[in-house]
Amino acid sequence: MQSKADISENELSLRCKQEDMNARRMLYERYGGVLMAICLRYTGNREEAEDVLHDGFLHIFESIKQFTYQGEGSLKAWLSRVMVNEALGFLRKRNAQTQQEVLLDEIPDMPDTEDTGFDGLPQSVLMRMISELPDGYRTIFNLYVFEDKSHKEIASMLGISERTSSSQFYRAKSLLMKKINEYRNKELTR
């Protein structure tokens, strides 16, 4: 039997299409960690992320026959897209869109002149800070930064206006910078 590292993405996808249980296990073992990270980025909560991951893999196994291999990396990209959509569906069910939006007065506007670099900030700390953002902010931040979606695309996906997407992204970024600056100040006083 081949090890999971020996099998190509193309062969793995073909075997999953044939409902090969060993291939499905290999797919989960190879990509589960990356896909779990996506779920955590969107839900901000391990238990909810595990639920999304589970449902996402069910969806993946149901729809893998629709996947078309387009070169190395295309399977991982397709799996990531499915998982992002699963996470967004979960968030839509959990929160009505109006509940996702935090009142604009709750977070003061911050000028863009502050240091926006993440130099020296551990990735685990940054990801924790992102997970602590309010749901609506975190969703838009993730779509814009990690999924490289435009505000027009985000607005269409979430059923909001481009202006709402843009303002929530700005406020997410401002809140994140506030958290980063507080973290750095705390580290300086140690």
Tell me: the pLDDT tens digits for 68-110? 999 999 999 999 999 999 999 898 887 654 444 444 444 444 4
Cβ pair 20, 14 in contact under 8 A: no
- Regarding whether 108 and 84 lie in a shared domain, the answer is no
CATH of the domain at 115: 1.10.10.10
Cβ within 8 Å of residue 13, ≥6 positions away: 64, 67, 69, 75
Q: What is the mean pLDDT of the chain?
A: 84
Is pLDDT above 50 for 135? yes
The answer as to whether 37 is a domain residue is yes
Residues 184 and 101 in one domain: yes
pLDDT score at 118: 61
- Residue 103 DSSP label: P
Q: What is the CATH number of the domain that holds 45?
A: 1.10.1740.10
- Residue 117, burial from CB neighbour count under 10 angstroms (0-12, 13-18, 19+): exposed
Statement to judge: residues 125 and 143 lie in one domain: yes
The predicted structure's pLDDT at residue 114: 40
pLDDT in tens, 33-58: 999 999 999 988 899 999 999 999 99
Tokens of 71: 């070169």
Torsion 29-121-150-50 (CA) sign? positive
- The whole-number pLDDT of residue 190 equals 74
pLDDT band at 3 (very low <50, low <70, confident <90, very high): low
pLDDT at 96: 53
pTM of the model: 0.69
3-state secondary structure of 141: helix
- Residue 6: DSSP 8-state: T
Total number of domains in the chain: 2
1 in a domain, yes or no?
A: no
Sequence-distant contacts of 151-157: CB under 8 A, at least 24 apart: 157/88
d(CA 127, CA 4): 28
What's the domain range around 183? 97-188
Q: How far apart are the C-alpha atoms of 2 and 107, rounded to whole Å?
A: 54
pLDDT value at residue 5: 58
Residue ending a domain, among 61, 94, 127, is 94
Q: Which of 84-93, 106-115, 181-190 has the highest mean pLDDT?
A: 84-93
Same structural domain, 118 and 170: yes
Q: Where residue 123 falls among pLDDT bands split at 50, 70, 90?
A: confident
Neighbours of 21 (CB within 10 A): 9
- Long-range contacts formed by 91-97: CB under 8 A, 24+ apart: 91/42, 91/43, 91/135, 91/139, 92/158, 94/48, 94/135, 95/135, 95/136, 97/136, 97/158, 97/159, 97/160
